[in-house]
Amino acid sequence: MSHHTTVSLLILAGVLAATPARAQDCPSPSGRHVRVAGSATVRLPPDRVSFSVGVETLHANVSEAFRANARKVEAVLAALKAKGVQAKELQTSALDISSRNPDGSPARGYRVANRVTVTRESAATVGELIEAAIAAGANEANQLSFFVADPGVAQKRGLDLAFASAQAKAETLAALARQPLGEALCVAEGVAVGNPMANFAQMSRGGADTIEPGTEAITFAVNVVFALGTPAPR
């Protein structure tokens, strides 16, 4: 049987939204200071993968639709477990029993739908797992995402780079003002807000190799107030 399944791959790109530190919170002895924000992005290979497959059955009798769909879900779960997925990595959800289609139009009978979500550490065989689920009866696959479980592993490097970025800005501004740059008086972590941007990948039966986890960008931000020295003579 020939059929294709479209899988959406979500890649998150961090977008900086930093709250500046207040200069009056960090007064310099001379009263002169420069306030700057710095940011840096660290890319890490994802160590988690998550995807969902949907199982849906349409039948004239609601009880038959429910039982048939339950059998399909069990078949999908069994197929995933046969591929090495553990029970703790599986979750069933979103049970929907309706006499209407998702678009609100009347269904030709009763529609029963369920969703199976897989979340696991290894992303190596994700294509094979999706194909196995489809072969077992799943008729929808989506919400495929790769992510880093603990972004904190990159925190030191990210903050180091963000501070270096802020310091470079401060040195440039101090040079333009013809004033020597002093010590950092105040350092505060900024807030980096993720702005999801979708990048869609296509995978068909027999096309598991088209799925690539790539890397995840994690953005760090700092706000720094530096003291300024005595202006250089003109």
* pLDDT of 96 higher than 60: yes
Q: Pick the closest to residue 143 from 91, 83, 207, 70 (CA basis).
A: 91
Q: For residues 82 and 13, which has the higher predicted lDDT (pLDDT)?
A: 82
Tell me the CATH number for domain 49-145: 3.30.70.2970
Model confidence over 31-77: pLDDT tens digits?
Answer: 788 999 999 999 888 888 899 999 999 999 999 999 999 999 999 99
Q: Which CATH number fits domain 9-46+150-228: 3.40.50.150, 3.30.110.170, 3.90.1280.10, 3.30.1020.10?
A: 3.30.110.170
Percent of the chain exceeding pLDDT 70 equals 76
What is the pairing mode between strands 4-16 and 140-147? parallel
Please state, as a whole number, how many other Cβ atoms lie within 10 Å of the Cβ of residue 126. Answer: 21
Q: pLDDT at position 196, please?
A: 36
Model confidence over 106-147: pLDDT tens digits?
Answer: 888 999 999 999 999 877 788 899 999 999 999 999 888 888
Q: Give, to the nearest 10 degrees, the angle between helix 62-82 and helix 126-135.
A: 150
Stretch (H or E) spanning 107: strand 106-120
